[in-house]
Chains A and B, each alone.
Chain A
Amino acid sequence: MAKLPRQLEGEEVAPLVTDTAPQGHTRREFLRSATLFTATVAGLGGGLELLTRRPSGTAEAQAAAVTRKRALGPYDTSEPVTSYQAMTTYNNFYEFGLGKDDPSQNAGSLRTRPWIIKIDGEVRRPQTVDIDTLQSWFPLEDRVYRMRCVEAWSMVMPWMGFPLAALIRRLEPTGKAKYVKFTTLQDPKQMPGQRSGVLDWPYVEALRLDEALHPLAFMAVGLDGKILPNQNGAPLRLVIPWKYGFKNIKSIVRISLVSERPKTTWALAAPDEYGFYANVNPAVDHPRWSQATERRIGEVARRKTLPFNGYADAVAGLYKGLDLRRNF
C-alpha cells in the first residue's frame, strides 16, 4: 500500500498544526477566516451565477393569460391560448439575438412604418406596396392556431390577419409559378443579430404554390387583436400551422413567385436537421431529439405531438405519395 504524499491528505486526515497559535491571535485568526470564507462563498457563488443565470419575466406576468373572448371559426382550435407574456417574450428571431429573451429586448430598433413590400417574379402584377395598403385589400380575421417549434415546444396563438391564398390570387401568378418565396428585411442597423454570421442573411423561406393556396395558410399582422409586436415578426409574417415554426418567416419585405424551389435559410444552415417541407411529424425525429412529444408552454407534462400538428385531416392530401421521412 503506497504511502500518501502529504499534500494530498485532506484536512480531515491531517490535524492542523497551526491551531497552536497563542490566545491573542485566535480571535484575529477566526475573524480573518470568517472574512475569507464569506468572500470565497460570494466570489464563487456570484461568479457561477454571472456565467449561467438568465432570469426572465415575473410570476404574475407569466400567469397573465389571454382572456379575450372570441367566436371560434372553422379553423380555430378551442384549446386554451398561451399567455400573452409568454407569446411575446419567448421567441426565436435570430435577427435580434439567439436567446429566447433577446427578441423582446432588442426588437425595439425595428421600424415597421413605412414598410414597403416588393412583389415580383412569375406574377402578372409585380409591384411594390406599402404594408398599410396591402393590409387594406383584405378583411382582417382572427385565427387561433397551434404553433409547434422544431425545438419541441408549442403554443396556442391567436393571430389576426388574412389568408395567404387571397393575396396570391390577387397577384395573379403565371403558369410558370410553382413556389412562393418570402424574404425578411436585411438591415443590421435595425436588426443587430444580423451582425453575426450565425445564419445567411436575409432569412428566406418558401412554400409550394399549392401549400400557399391552402385555406389554413395565413398572413398575420396582429396577435391577440393587437398589432403584431416587433419580436413576433411585425409588420407582416407568415403562419403555416401544420409546419415547424421556422417556416413562419417574420418581417417580410419581399414575396416572389418562382418556378424553381428556392434554397431556404435553415435548410442551407443544417440540411440534415431542417428540411424544406418541415411538416410537423412525430414519426420523424430531429437528429438530436425526438419529435414524438412536445412541451406546451405553460404546462409541466409533455404532450404527444400530432401528425401535421393536428391539422392532418385538412392538409395530408397535399403530400400524397411523398415520402415524408426523406422529405422532412
Chain B
Amino acid sequence: MAPGKRSLKWLPPAVYVGGFLPALILLGDALSGLLGADPIKRATHQTGQLAIILLLLSLACTPLRLLTGWTWPARVRKALGLLAFGYAALHFGIYLFDQNILLLAVGEDIVKRPFITVGFLALLLLAPLAWTSTPASMKRLGFQRWTRLHRLVYLAAALGALHYWWGVKQDRTVPTLLAAGLLGLLLLRLVKRPAKKPATRPTSSG
C-alpha cells in the first residue's frame, strides 16, 4: 500500500533499528551460550547471511519503485545498504578474531583461497559505497558519477553470492536461491528502465 502524502520520516530509522536488532540478539545469544558448540563459526555464518540478505533487499528497492510507483522503497535503500555493509564488516571482524587476528594467516587465506578472495573483494567494494552514502558525497561527486560508482553494488552482491556458494560444504540450496534472486533483480533493472512520466520522476538509469 502506497502511503499517500503522509510523512515517511519514521521509515529509515525504523529500518535501522529493525536491521540492527539481529546484531543485538546475536550478542545476547553469544553471552547466553545459545550459539551451540562452536559459537564463533555460528556467529560468522549468521552475520554473513544477514549481510547478503540485506544487500539483496537494498537492491530490490529500485525495481520495486519502478514497478509499483511507490516512493517508500527509495527511502529505505540507503539504510538497507549501510546495514548490509555493517554486517559484512562484522562478518569479516569475527573471521579475523577466529584466526586469532593473525594477519599473516588472514593474508594467506585471502591470497590462496578464491572463496575468501571473492568475499574480501565484496567487502572492499562495499566500503567506498558506504563511505559515499551521504547527500554531501552525492553533491560532491555529482549525480552521474555517484550513480556510476554505486553500480558497483551489483558486483559486490554477485561476489558475495559466489563467496557464499563456494563456502558451503555440500548443500547449495540457499546460496543458489540467493544467486537466482540477484540475477532476477539484475534482469529487472536491465529490462525495466525508469518510466518517462513526470509522475514518477526520471532518474538517470542507475
Contacts and interface: CB of A to CB of B under 8 A. Distances in A.
A19 B7 contact: yes
A98 B170 contact: yes
A199 interface: yes
A19 B112 CA distance: 56
A45 B21 contact: yes
B175 to A, nearest CB: 13
Contact of B99 (A40, A300, A302): A302
Contacts of B40: 295, 300
A9 interface: yes
A10 B81 CA distance: 14
A52 B49 contact: yes
A89 B36 contact: yes
A18 to B, nearest CB: 5
A54 B49 CA distance: 12
Contacts of A1: 139, 142
What bracket does the count of chain B residues touching chain A fall in? 35 or more
> What is the size category of the interface that chain A forms with chain B?
35 or more
Given A2-B142, A57-B34, A90-B38, A49 B21 contact: yes
B36 A41 contact: no
Contacts of A63: 33
A209 interface: no
Nearest to B32: A59
Nearest to B206: A8
A56 B35 contact: yes
Contact of B18 (A7, A41, A199): A41
A288 B115 contact: yes
B27 interface: no
Contacts of B197: none
A53 B17 contact: no
B71 interface: yes
A58 B36 CA distance: 8
B83 to A, nearest CB: 9
A129 B18 CA distance: 59
A156 B100 CA distance: 22
Contacts of B26: 53
A49 B22 contact: yes
B7 A29 contact: yes
Interface in A1-59: 1-13, 16, 18-19, 29, 32-34, 36-38, 40-45, 48-49, 51-59
Interface in A80-107: 83, 85-86, 89-90, 94, 98, 100-101
B22 A45 contact: yes
B170 A6 contact: no
A234 to B, nearest CB: 20
Contact of A62 (B21, B37, B78): B37
B201 A40 contact: no
A198 interface: yes
Given A36-B14, A302-B98, A49 B25 contact: yes
B7 A33 contact: yes
A199 B169 CA distance: 11
A100 B12 contact: no
Given A37-B13, A42-B18, 20 more contacts: A5-B143, A7-B200, A11-B75, A32-B6, A44-B18, A44-B19, A48-B50, A53-B22, A53-B26, A57-B36, A90-B38, A98-B171, A100-B36, A101-B36, A198-B170, A270-B170, A292-B105, A295-B41, A297-B37, A300-B40
13 contacts: A4-B138, A7-B200, A10-B12, A11-B9, A11-B12, A16-B9, A33-B10, A42-B18, A48-B54, A58-B33, A59-B33, A59-B34, A302-B100
